[in-house]
Structure 1
Amino acid sequence: MDTLQLILLSLVQGLTEFLPVSSSAHLVLLSEFLGEEDQGIIFDVGVHFGTLMAALVYFRSDLKKMIINLGSHKFLSKENNLTTNLIIAVIPILLSGFLLRDFVNLNLRNSEVIAYATIIFGILLYIAQLRKGKENLDSVNYKQALIIGLFQCLALIPGTSRSGITITAGLFLGLSATAASRFSFLLAIPTIGAIALAELIRVSFIDITDNGTELSIALIISFLVAYISIDMFLKLIDRIGFTPFVIYRLLLGGWLLMYWT
């Protein structure tokens, strides 16, 4: 792909990875529009490591506290509750992703599936926010973490949105908008990390050196945009709610049904 396409796709990945609007859907649609249906493994490695680094840097204080607690308290103590919950929540997507990845890529990555998933899960997000939960992250138990993890498996369907469906689950379980979003973004760290590692294993050292510029552009742009996206979202979500994202999803899904299916 040329430099402009690379920049556009990296911007889209960084912007939408943590917003409840589906990054994969936007990448598929933009790729089709640009006539670049396969971005290549180097691009995937770059943007996934970029967005992973954004989450690691943004939540560095939380992660530092979790690591310290692991070393100073028993694993199943209340001090390690968040760490344990994240481990429980990530297991379902690791298993389902391994088992269903090829099926999804062959059968579900099309405009019609994206359109319906965008609309259906947008409506579900709207219904979930009506609960107006007040619970914080400390209130999440193992069962609730597993439920959020099972919901995350639906993100394998293009158009669902990984952050959107996990936030939806958190809202249904009574978490506040901020708490549900923070849990979703923290859960993204092991999830995206596993994806990035699986992709990196498929890349040779020669591939990396030969495509170093493409890798660097994808990583840097997605990192910067994703970091800003996380920061702005968490600062504004209690004020604006999820309705703007729901409206966007409904408009996007409707447009896809009319013009792309």
Structure 2
Amino acid sequence: MRGGRTYVLAAVLLGAAIVLTVAGVGDTAGGLPNWQALVLGVVQGATELLPISSSGHLVLVPWLGDWTFLEQNDAFNHTFDVALHLGTMLAVGGYFLPDLTAMVRGWFRTLRTRRIETRDERLAWIVLVATIPAGIVGLAFEDVITGHLGEPWQIALLLAVFAVVLWLVDRRPATRQAHELSLREGLAVGAAQALALAPGVSRSGITISAGRLFCLDRDEAARLSFLLLVPTVLGAVVLKGVQDVVLGDLPAGWKGPFVVGVLAAWGTGLLAIQWLLGYVRRHTYGLFVVYRLIAAAIIVLLIVTGARAATF
């Protein structure tokens, strides 16, 4: 699904999210308003796939707007966050469906032949190996991450630090394709991805940085980052879906915001993929470095002047 079809599907998804929001479908008094779910879905779709930190922006937007529902309903907040990631996973899965299908077939073929030979076979194993560290760290340190990370001042620091990292590694030569990475290098990319569990680092930003460190060209680094999103988010969606939706007890009125958020993140995610892949074929990642540094400076300025608290 590329080109014009991407724009058509994105328009349909975003249009549906807007219609549901305007019609107030699923809105519940005292719950998360659909319009906030729409805004957060758009934010997720753009920032998850661009190297600027979706988890950081999903904290900063409510912080700036003084939206308190998600802060006061922690369990709902975490599950809603996973729902938004489901939207971006659907965007990536649809956009790269031929690639993903070829990789899955290639992976099963390696189990049968006990050899890794083709591009798709190698890429499948690289993505699988790179998924492992984030899964282990996420399960082992979930309470630590949610309890101690994600404050605005921390996000500002991480936005700035990893902006510098991206700027430095983006000066590396572009000489390799993603399937040319070794499994050890794939594991290193996965270890870098695990750092993005801290809001402000950026999952796409740190995996793109790791790819550029290993001399992937800018397009290949972005594509590898997108492909890594699918198994990583799929695991979180299944886990949280069972724990919080099937077996859990979410507040009344969760369905409307979830549907609106997923549709908005899905549609915006498609646009972000299409734009980023076109952009990095002609430009460096410098634009995102500048954005991160400016965003970090604004956060610090708001905190220092007392316009906003350092914590949320």
Structure-to-structure mapping, 1:40-59, within 5 angstroms: 40-41=77-78, 43-59=80-96
User: More displaced, 35-44 or 93-102?
Assistant: 35-44
> Hey, what's the Cα distance between the residues in 1 that align with 2:78 and 2:158?
25
> Hey, what's the Cα distance between the residues in 1 that align with 2:114 and 2:230?
20
Question: Contact between 2:37 and 2:258, CA under 8 Å: does it hold in 1?
Answer: no
Q: TM-score, normalised by structure 1?
A: 0.94
> Hey, what's the Cα distance between the residues in 2 that align with 1:195 and 1:255?
32
Match of 2:61 among 17, 23, 30: 30
SS at match of 1:83: helix
Q: CA RMSD in A?
A: 1.8
Task: Please report how far the alpha carbon of residue 152 of structure 1 lies from its aligned counterpart in structure 2 after TM superposition.
Answer: 0.9
CA offsets 1:195-246 (integer angstroms, 9 cap, x no match): 2122211233585995332221111111010011011101111212100000
Corresponding residue number in structure 1 for 2:228: 187
Corresponding residue number in structure 2 for 1:88: 129
CA offsets 1:133-180 (integer angstroms, 9 cap, x no match): 221122111111011011111112210000000110110111111111
SS at match of 1:20: coil
1:239 equivalenced with 2:282 (yes/no): yes
The code of the aligned residue for 2:258 comes to L
> CA, structure 1 residues 252+146, in 2 after alignment: closer, same or farther (shift >3 Å)?
same
* Runs of at least 5 residues in structure 2 that lack an aligned partner in the other structure: 1-31, 304-309
The code of the aligned residue for 2:48 comes to E
Corresponding residue number in structure 2 for 1:225: 268
> Hey, what's the Cα distance between the residues in 2 that align with 1:243 and 1:147?
23
> Hey, what's the Cα distance between the residues in 2 that align with 1:75 and 1:83?
14
The code of the aligned residue for 1:184 comes to S
Point out the structure with max Rg over C-alpha.
2
CA offsets 1:6-58 (integer angstroms, 9 cap, x no match): 11111101111111000001010112223234363552243121111111101
Question: Contact between 2:107 and 2:125, CA under 8 Å: does it hold in 1?
Answer: no
Count residues in correspondence.
261
* Runs of at least 5 residues in structure 1 that lack an aligned partner in the other structure: none
Corresponding residue number in structure 2 for 1:255: 298
Question: Contact between 2:33 and 2:257, CA under 8 Å: does it hold in 1?
Answer: no
Corresponding residue number in structure 1 for 2:186: 145
CA offsets 1:85-121 (integer angstroms, 9 cap, x no match): 1111010000011111211111111011101100000
Corresponding residue number in structure 2 for 1:77: 116
User: More displaced, 67-76 or 8-17?
Assistant: 67-76
Q: TM-score, normalised by structure 2?
A: 0.79
How high is the sequence identity, in percent, across the aligned residues? 28
Match of 1:9 among 36, 40, 48: 40
Task: Please report how far the alpha carbon of residue 255 of structure 1 lies from its aligned counterpart in structure 2 after TM superposition.
Answer: 1.2
Question: Contact between 1:42 and 1:208, CA under 8 Å: does it hold in 2?
Answer: no
> CA, structure 1 residues 105+203, in 2 after alignment: closer, same or farther (shift >3 Å)?
closer
1:176 equivalenced with 2:213 (yes/no): no
Task: Please report how far the alpha carbon of residue 132 of structure 1 lies from its aligned counterpart in structure 2 after TM superposition.
Answer: 2.7
Question: Contact between 1:45 and 1:215, CA under 8 Å: does it hold in 2?
Answer: no
Question: Contact between 1:76 and 1:84, CA under 8 Å: does it hold in 2?
Answer: no
The code of the aligned residue for 1:243 comes to G
